[in-house]
Amino acid sequence: PFSTFDAVVIGAGAAGLFCAGIAGQRGLRVLLLDHGEKVAEKVRISGGGRCNFTNRELDPRAPHKHFLSDNPHFCRSALARHTPADFIGLVQKHRIPFHEKHKGQLFGDHSSDDFIRMLLAECAAGGVTHWQPCTVGGIAANGAGYELQTSRGPVRAGSVVVATGGLSIPKIGATDFGYRVAQQFGLRVVPPRPALVPLTFDGEAWAPFAQLAGLSLPVRIATGEKKERVAFDEDLLFTHRGLSGPAVLQISSYWREGTPIRIDLAPGIDLAAELMQAKARSRRLLANELAQWVPARLAEAWVQQDAAWQRPVNEAGDKALQQLAQRLSNWELVPTGSEGWRKAEVTAGGVDTRELSSQTMESRQPGLYFVGEVVDVTGWLGGYNFQWAWASAHACAQALAPA
Ligand code: FAD
């Protein structure tokens, strides 16, 4: 009673849908299954509902610049063979209107549903068999292929593609399925951790800033020492529990527990010099002077930290002004933790790329492939994670062979 296919793709998210469609259009008999009721729930909620589907700034000569991995150059081959321009071509073919927002980020004009419809249309064009909801009980290697026990009966296939994504947002169906399959076949997994996630702070040191929830300002943010140092120029957002906004989401992917982050709250401004000039010409309160360079609410909260800062600028000591400038432009703080899987946009870590071919995404276990976020390749905020899903799915789909 086996259903027989050339390839089974597990997970109907961004990577699984794209992979199944291309493989089907190459003439393969493809089964796509997902344990959820709906396809591509993460595409649906992505980019605030508009799907930031790729990024024009992805550098084809150095694609690894925008991605993290224990094996930084692994992603190059796939990203070079399916570029943002290639994916944009498909979006245009489907007449989906889009626009560029910030730093090369491309978003749909209407809704992420446009992209889901496009992916489903590509699957239909490839004659892909689609089972949902359907769970996989077990996978066994069997001579030249695989046997799967599923809630819709047993399946035989030449290849299995694992496209089950990462652990973020368990509420919409994330599972550790992909990591368990890797372990079953003796493939290493880089420990997964939440990335692109707000950072939290607590204790007395945070008390003065809790009142700033909702405040946003442009900053330069950095973490890591010397050669490991990474920095971003983006907006910072104060929340009730800590810090968020693009600046913090970006740095969170690089941040390691117990280490500090450093924030320049007035980037590009020589605050020490500005404050000394203000001292020479003004009698206003220091907080009022500061409000020229940072938001007034922040200036107000900031001076509460030291009595020497709660006075007219002309009465403040030079040293107090220098300290104030130094602390604002190099605010060093150690996050207590992150908001975790509930809020993380992606999962860093995953199936160790040293177990995979960078050309095809096939693992050391012949016929078993991993694509998308389940792999230890994590993009920056701004469309890079979808571009990795498309590119890795494309590399795999080109390599799949009839059983
Ligand atoms: P997913 O899209 O997560 O798909 C995995 C699929 O596998 C799901 O359908 C799931 O139901 C299924 N599955 C899981 N476990 C099982 C199982 N045991 N059995 C069967 N099926 C299973 N990236 C961007 O580039 N741009 C954005 O604008 C963007 N916005 C985001 C916003 C939010 C709120 C979040 C959470 C993420 C966002 N991302 C964005 C990240 C992006 O959504 C993911 O990197 C991308 O969806 C990964 O694709 P994937 O196919 O590997 O995994």
Domain ranges within the chain, ordered by starting residue: 3-194+344-399, 199-266+332-338, 271-331
Contacts of residue 208, Cβ cutoff 8 Å, sequence gap at least 6: 301, 302, 304, 305
Q: Which of 385, 388, 390, 396 to probe ligand 1 with, by most ligand atoms within 8 A of CB?
A: 385
pLDDT value at residue 165: 98
Q: Other C-beta atoms within 10 Å of 4: how many?
A: 12
Coil, strand or helix: which one is 36?
Answer: coil
Tell me if 381 CB under 6 Å of ligand 1: no
Q: What pLDDT tens digit does each residue of the chain (403 aa) get?
A: 899 999 999 999 999 999 999 999 999 999 999 999 999 999 999 999 999 999 999 987 787 789 999 999 999 999 999 999 999 999 999 999 999 999 999 999 999 999 999 999 999 999 999 999 999 999 999 988 999 999 999 999 999 999 999 999 999 999 999 999 999 999 999 999 999 999 999 877 788 898 999 999 999 999 999 988 999 999 999 998 899 999 999 999 999 999 999 999 999 999 999 999 999 999 999 999 999 999 999 999 999 999 999 999 999 999 999 999 999 999 999 999 999 999 999 999 999 999 999 999 999 999 999 999 999 999 999 999 999 999 999 999 999 999 8
Name the 3-class secondary structure at 24: helix
Task: Please tell me if the CB atom of residue 116 comes closer than 6 angstroms to any atom of ligand 1.
Answer: no
What pLDDT sits at residue 61? 79
**3-state DSSP assignment of residue 176:** coil
Measure CA of the first residue to CA of the last residue in the chain; give whole Å. Answer: 18
Q: What is the atom index within ligand 1 of the atom nearest the CA of 39?
A: 9
Mutate to test the pocket of ligand 1, among 42, 43, 115, 342 (most ligand atoms within 8 A of CB): 42
CATH fold, domain 199-266+332-338, is Elongation Factor Tu (Ef-tu); domain 3 (2.40.30)
Cα–Cα distance between 216 and 295 in angstroms, integer?
Answer: 9
- For residue 373, the ligand 1 atom closest to its alpha carbon is 52
Q: Exposure string (b/e) for 240-253, b if CB count within 10 Å is 16 or more?
A: ebbbbbbbbbbbbb
Say yes or no: CB of residue 355 within 6 Å of ligand 1.
no
Q: What is the pLDDT of residue 132?
A: 98
Task: Report the CATH architecture of 271-331.
Answer: Orthogonal Bundle (1.10)
Q: Tokens for 210, please give them.
A: 């809790």
Say how far apart CA 391 and CA 376 lie, in whole Å: 14
Burial of 226 (0-12, 13-18, 19+ CB in 10 A): exposed
CA of 186 to the centre of ligand 1 (A): 24
Q: Ligand 1 centre from 245 Cα, in Å? A: 20
**Any idea which fold 3-194+344-399 has?**
FAD/NAD(P)-binding domain (3.50.50)
